[in-house]
Structure 1
Amino acid sequence: MATATATLAPVTPSQKDADAGGAPSGRRHAKGRAARGTAATGRPTGDGAPAKTRDAFFDNAKYLAIVLVAMGHAWEPLRDGSRSAAALYITVYAFHMPAFIIISGYFSRSFDMRKDRLQRLITGVAVPYVLFEVAYTFFKRWADDDPGYPITLLQPWYLTWFLIALFIWRLTTPLWKIVRWPLPLALTIAVLAAVSPEIGDDLNLQRVLQFLPFFVVGLTLRPEHFQLVRRRAVRIAALPVVAGALVFAYWAAPRMNAAWFYHRDSAQELGAPWWSGVVMTLAMFGCSLVLVACFFAWVPGRRTWFTALGAGTLYGYLLHGFLAKGSRFWHWYDNDWLHTPWGQVLLTLIAGTLVTLLCTPPVQRIFRFAMEPKMTWAFKPDAVGTARQRR
């Protein structure tokens, strides 16, 4: 995979006010260019300041992370019959969502309770959560022949947990910005959650709390931290680290409960003693950070053919869930050829191709009504902005 040697570009305001995938929609981006100048060319904006371009590194990272998410879901039913598939699954699950969450935290650094940012949180996270939770429920009723499956917004089904988690994390961002030791506090909360089975399943709070440290890590990062992991020495060191992780995963596959990587249950619910929740939470946090650093080290920093797809990763994430679950409901994995080495390779390529297509601009235009609704009718007009326009 090609890498970039250039330093990180400045983080743009549009990237700071990011959606769940860490990037604004094409509609908002285009609207911003029309109002402020042509950001892509770097020409001065209307207020005299030079326009800033999006940083290709983060769009590349989001796209590659969402491809790994889709591939991981494709490998899941293959684990019982293939130790290699199980090893790949464990390795990818150790860092793909942490990477995505760290990026989301990084682009949440400027979040506050300002009216426009709260509106974007509602329209870009809360509304898609409600719509897709309902859509997934009806899909399960139809595809799984389960007409009695209830609609509930308190217990996220399948992929929608990330949206409710991001909603909660972002609302708490101002708190993490004022505490003295945010990461130790977040780790303490994650450890306590891992040994507290009484938390229950409402709002998938186990995941919200156990993944919280990664979001807080993102909040504390600065551009220079990403420059550190993209140095040549780190890229070279990342190769044996990932190779070692794969070897360890191959050894651990038949010995370890992969549910630890989901962070959705306490240690007791996984049949382990309570103290193992403390050990596993801290150990997996450290391992995940190392693998995330290796992942970032090899993410290209220049514009590539998939850079533009980084703005559509939330589309790919939510939409590919219908195919991932449908493949189980319709018993696609009963085909023997899928369990052969060549079948597994082909399935991996298909998963990567499908999620790539779901991130493309045409798909974004079709589903923008659900992912990024304007909903101006739902909010009170901004009195300050209106007065400024009148002047």
Structure 2
Amino acid sequence: MISVTPHSGPGSPRTADRSPFFDNAKFLLIVLVALGHSWEQLFSPHTHGLRALHNLVYGFHMPAFILLSGYFSRSFTGRPDQIRRLLTGVLAPYLIFETLYTLVYHWVRGAEFAITPTSPTYLLWFLIALFVWRLTTPIWNAVRHPVPIAVVISLAAGTTVIGEDLALPRVLMFLPWFVLGLRLRPEHFARLRTRAARRVAVPVFVAAFALAYRLSPAPSDDWLSMDVGHGVLHVSLMRYLLLRMALFAVSALLVASFLALVPGRRLWITALGAATLYPYLVHGILIRLAEHYGLVHAVRVSGFAGQLVFSGLAVAVVVLLSTPPARAVLRPLVEPRMPRRLVPAPPVGALPGVPTVAAEREKTLAR
């Protein structure tokens, strides 16, 4: 969350697969992201149901987001125009908001003011992960059996000690979802968008919530956020591998069920789903400000009613930040224009993959 899918979003390769279905899915997922981050502020020994709902959402919302990121990265080959979009649409906003989040954390939490671009703050790990994943796309498109290889890498990453630089644990552990997205085709999504699939999806979510409620407060956030290995989780290597494989299976079932329930027609949320980068980057700052000014504490002591109000506010913030007026105000930060000295524009009239007249002339002279 970057425009995770490249419909008119920055930093994403263009595609002809524009469909209300994908924009609807993106909007619903960014709402779940904001809700999940909001609910985390309210946990207490008395929020059993909220914790179960949080764990259910975390079981599939990031895998689904990453899978869609992979799906819309299929055409990435590393062409200069694609690299430019990656720099201006993913790396540039990451650096800007890494600075902003550092300022916010220094202000509201008294954290040391030290800008460390290689160590993402809070939710910004996804941007740097997307940057790395997309750069590796040509590799996954070149090798055989990329998904099993990515699964092995993911499991192996959890058996070793990996530093936090560039969010490397999450980059490696979430990798299979990105690679799986690269292998998907429109017909795979079409199979999920059937009445039979929707009928199965609802019982799946009901059963998953019942299981999450029974297990709550387990599993811990560390299992679901994929940022630590088995040593930190204090389980044996074999138990770790078995549980990770089980989580893969459960997440895959939930991702498929979620996609089956996503509306395929154009709705009022469809246009908002084309701008998920805006609410993703900004809502984390608003949560920290709400925490600093006592709103989170007031909600926490208000019980269930407060939880409903806070959840409604999270959804409203996502909607507001996705609207054209908000995007117009935030565009210099979210979609900055890079100086041409750093990222020169392609020659006028040049098309991706099509040599210019000057280039053809140089080839002729070289002969």
**Pick aligned residue for 1:154 from 110, 114, 118:** 118
Provide the residue aligned with 2:247 in structure 1. Answer: 284
Partner of 1:144: 109
Q: Aligned with 2:276: secondary structure?
A: helix
Alignment of 1:165-314 (within 5 A): 165-197=129-161, 199-314=162-277
Instruction: Confirm or deny that 1:96 pairs with 2:40.
Output: no
Q: How many residues align?
A: 352
Give the C-alpha shift of residue 145 in structure 1.
2.9
Alignment check: 8 A CA contact 1:98 1:214 kept: yes
Q: Please say if residues 316 and 359 of structure 1, whose CA atoms lie closer than 8 Å, have aligned partners that are also in contact.
A: yes
**For residues 130 and 52 of structure 1, what CA distance do their matches in structure 2 show?**
29
The residue identity in structure 2 corresponding to 1:85 is L
Hey, what's the Cα distance between the residues in 2 that align with 1:26 and 1:384? 22
Determine the C-alpha separation between the residues in 1 that align with 2:358 and 2:261: 46
AA paired with 1:89?
Answer: H
What whole-Å deviation, never above 9, does each CA across 1:207-233 have from its counterpart, x for those lacking one? Answer: 000010000111010001101111111
Q: Provide, for residues 102-145 of structure 1, a one-character-per-residue CA deviation record: whole Å limited to 9, x for no partner.
A: 11110000001111000000000011111111110011111223
Given that 2:119 and 2:167 are in contact with CA atoms closer than 8 Å, whether structure 1 keeps it comes out as yes
Check if 1:20 corresponds to 2:3: yes
Residue 278 of structure 2 contacts residue 321 of structure 2 at CA under 8 Å; is this kept in 1?
A: yes
Deviates more, 1:153-162 or 1:321-330: 321-330
Q: What secondary structure, in the 3-state scheme, does the structure 1 residue paired with 2:132 have?
A: helix
Matching residue within 9, 33, 45 for 1:69: 33
Alpha-carbon deviations, 1:313-346, whole Å to 9, x = none?
Answer: 0111010010122233334332266542222112
In structure 2, relative to structure 1, the CA distance for the partners of 1:201 and 1:26 (3 Å cut) is closer
Per-residue deviation, residues 178-227 of structure 1 (Å, max 9, x unmatched)? 11100000000000111112x11111100000010000111010001101
Which of 78, 82, 87 is matched with 2:52 structurally?
87
- Contact kept, 8 Å, 1:194 with 1:266, in 2: the verdict is yes
DSSP 3-state at the match of 1:320: helix
Which residue does the alignment assign to 1:13?
A: none
Whether the aligned pair in 2 keeps the contact of 1:133 and 1:153 (CA below 8 Å) is: yes
The whole-number CA distance in structure 2 between the counterparts of 1:245 and 1:385 is 53
- Identity of aligned pairs, percent? 44
Q: Cα–Cα, structure 1 residues 382 and 334, in superposed 2: closer, same or farther, change >3 Å?
A: closer
Find the counterpart in structure 1 of residue 298 from structure 2. 335
User: Which residue number corresponds to residue 363 of structure 2?
Assistant: none
Q: Distance in 2 between matches of 1:340 and 1:145?
A: 29
Structure 1 unaligned residues grouped into runs of 5+? 1-17, 33-50
**Distance of 1:335 and 1:380 partners within structure 2:** 50
CA shift digits 1:52-93 (9 cap, x unpaired): 683110000000000001111111133322111001000000
Supply the RMSD in Å over aligned alpha carbons.
2.5
Comparing 254-263 with 96-105, which one deviates more in the overlay? 254-263
1:301–1:375 CA distance, 2 compared to 1 (3 A): same
* 1:320 is the counterpart of 2:283: yes
Structure 2 letter corresponding to 1:57: F
CA deviation after TM superposition for structure 1 residue 349, in Å: 1.1
Q: Is the 8 A contact 1:112 1:174 kept in 2?
A: yes
SS at match of 1:195: coil
The equivalent residue for 2:325 is: 362
Distance 1:26 1:191 in 2: 32
Alpha-carbon deviation of 1:242? 0.4
2:316 maps to what in 1? 353
Contact 1:23–1:310 under 8 Å retained in 2: no
2:37 maps to 1:108: no
Partner Cα separation in structure 1 for residue 226 and residue 339 of structure 2: 37
How many angstroms does 1:164 deviate by? Answer: 0.4
Q: Given the two structures, how large is their TM-score scaled by the length of structure 2?
A: 0.90
